[in-house]
Structure 1
């Protein structure tokens, strides 16, 4: 017979007050060997945490380093930026800073947002394939009415498309929205739920439906979002003079280009979600510092690298991030330390999400150049030995 379950203490009247937090800390000190001295000593007032975490006990304090200056030639981000990066991986901030130095001397990183959409993907089940096909035609005919119902639930969400994919008696749909400065997963869920209720009222022959059919691929890398976009689709690109590359990194551009060809081949063989080097490193560090939903790194880290060795030896490099899910409003972005980090880049609040997306993409490109040059110059291991070992 199993032992009795001992639940975490909760205060139904005020679970975010000091007494509730202290009760949980005392509970853990009694039941575990941890003193929780540092967990309990953060500066965030628990009263601001409803909607961000449940049963709070304190904070996870991750060191934040500062990389930069990062020079961005974007449509939303223009000029020099200093980028906060939260990480416990030695060499990471130094590596990105080196890439930022190289690209600053090369004239900066050009960034372009080419698409912007967030999905919720319901499915509708029929007795046979013809029923599913007929619903697809009906949805196309009634797009404007469905859009009006969905948008009635939100101030910032706009329904831009309803994609359709039929398999057997099931119609899979992807409701695509723009979501303003919010990441938008909750917004799209609420809007699509309202739209589905209206569709079911008009089409009683639908046998079953599910609000999410795993076709939005929330928090999972997927081929459909490489092609169709989820979040922001951002391209970061730069051309680096051969002389500059060799002077700063001791790597020759022709060798870097050959390494890039081999890395693309290896990524293809392994089935990786991108042919770049380490996009997840920079994205994760910025996400933690700036209050993003870190689980979105699983899809945001997908990347497509294209490089050219120019006739004069200069090195053109671009990276496309097709599903960069970022926010400057809502979620964790308004918490004190996270807001401060966004403020460092001028990216906190409404109207700033495009700027933030471009800074993230430009940072990723800098990390690609830095790591690629370290591998090509044979300095990757020695750099980690010098900066990444503390035990």
Structure 2
């Protein structure tokens, strides 16, 4: 049996001695000297709840894109957007799209919906029992909501969606979660709700707290249609002459390329008919302390463009499942908080502002890359800026 064991201290696992022991294990048993991993400015004492077996940091280069001009209901004005990435050309491409949009008067952003789910599945002996339970849920929504909300000061149960299959009832308990992403919050609240249901329902039932219908960290059509996290739209109308000047391409060619891309998206059965929403979203997530695995859902996108009679181009993106936070999780860690502060998005009351900035960033990136592909500048840009030569 291997004697390899990661050192831990049950009394103070985030203290200097425990951290040093893990670093020494790496140095003794591997080829890494941890010259950079072991150097950091954050205080390990703030890390409980964020990471286990803390050993050091992974530094990701961060650049500023922008300025991004947003005409939102919550984000208004020019913003510098921190993007943490190792992909050359990414920051430059987003900045180019932002420059075009700024010249056109800015991007309008609108939060359409906001809900986070936990999705219990209830089991019965037959379909009629499942149907009866579905009606009972409707009749008892208020006490169920009250039970759920005893576990949270900021979460609120909005409604319960129901989907019958065989002798099962799949549900989606939809919550508003304030400035937190809310996945843990909704789990705790829904467990309390299900406990109340189990105790008060007059018939026999069994449940699993999560029936895989919330599709945590997995892309899904149900979340694209019904919203998970924030549903936000960013849109702009671009004058034809401005597009030609900044992007070296005509709007009619952009429109024609869009139609061909639509068909390719349909053929490939993707959750995204755009170019690269995951790029900007991931870079912002890393910079601002979001749960990066949520990019699996958050990068889902509906892109829509329209060539107007005068040759101008209307362009929009809809992000139907953008899962973000400006409070809690990793957002309060030192560098992540600083990145949120760059955009004025740290703390309570700021999550819709961040949603609008992210959606506007995605739209700028879609326009930039889409134009580069049509103008045949894409490959050259990566060759010039995206190769890390020794």
Query: Paired residue for 1:351?
Result: 349
The correspondence for 2:333, drawn from 320, 332, 335, is 335
Query: Paired residue for 1:118?
Result: 116
CA offsets per residue over residues 150-179 of structure 1, 9 Å max, x none? 011100001001000010111111000000
- Residues 66 and 95 in structure 2, CA contact (< 8 A), matched pair in contact too: yes
The correspondence for 1:144, drawn from 142, 145, 150, is 142
User: Residue 204 of structure 1: CA displacement?
Assistant: 6.0
Query: Paired residue for 1:390?
Result: 388
C-alpha RMSD of matched pairs (Å): 0.8
Query: Paired residue for 1:22?
Result: 20
> Greater CA deviation, 177-186 or 205-214?
205-214
User: Residue 311 of structure 1: CA displacement?
Assistant: 1.0
User: Residue 127 of structure 1: CA displacement?
Assistant: 1.0
The correspondence for 1:202, drawn from 180, 200, 203, is 200
Distance 1:200 1:371 in 2: 52
Aligned pair count reads 389
Query: Paired residue for 1:191?
Result: 189
Query: Paired residue for 2:292?
Result: 294
User: Residue 5 of structure 1: CA displacement?
Assistant: 5.2
- Structure 2: runs of 5+ lacking an equivalent: none
- Residues 126 and 205 in structure 1, CA contact (< 8 A), matched pair in contact too: no
Query: Paired residue for 2:239?
Result: 241
Query: Paired residue for 1:214?
Result: 212
Distance 1:34 1:130 in 2: 62
Query: Paired residue for 2:264?
Result: 266
Distance 2:334 2:388 in 1: 30
Distance 2:257 2:42 in 1: 46
- Say whether 1:33 aligns with 2:31: yes
- Residues 302 and 322 in structure 1, CA contact (< 8 A), matched pair in contact too: yes
- Residues 159 and 175 in structure 1, CA contact (< 8 A), matched pair in contact too: yes
Query: Paired residue for 1:378?
Result: 376
Query: Paired residue for 1:165?
Result: 163
Distance 1:206 1:252 in 2: 65
Judged with a 3 Å threshold, the aligned counterparts in structure 2 of structure 1 residues 208 and 68 are, in CA distance, closer, same or farther, namely same
Distance 2:204 2:61 in 1: 52
CA offsets per residue over residues 219-239 of structure 1, 9 Å max, x none? 011001111000000000001
The correspondence for 1:44, drawn from 42, 59, 64, is 42
Q: What TM-score comes out, normalization by structure 2 length?
A: 0.99
SS of alignment partner, residue 286 of structure 2: helix
Distance 2:216 2:204 in 1: 25
SS of alignment partner, residue 38 of structure 2: helix
Distance 1:242 1:249 in 2: 10
Instruction: Trace 1:361-376 onto structure 2 (pairs within 5 A).
Output: 361-376=359-374
The correspondence for 1:68, drawn from 58, 66, 69, is 66
Instruction: Trace 1:87-102 onto structure 2 (pairs within 5 A).
Output: 87-102=85-100
- Residues 236 and 315 in structure 2, CA contact (< 8 A), matched pair in contact too: yes
The correspondence for 2:152, drawn from 139, 148, 154, is 154
CA offsets per residue over residues 14-54 of structure 1, 9 Å max, x none? 00011100000001111111111100001111111000000
- Say whether 1:283 aligns with 2:291: no
- Say whether 1:318 aligns with 2:328: no
SS of alignment partner, residue 216 of structure 1: coil
- Residues 154 and 191 in structure 1, CA contact (< 8 A), matched pair in contact too: yes
User: Residue 6 of structure 1: CA displacement?
Assistant: 2.4
User: Residue 348 of structure 1: CA displacement?
Assistant: 0.2
CA offsets per residue over residues 329-366 of structure 1, 9 Å max, x none? 00000000000000000000000000000000000000
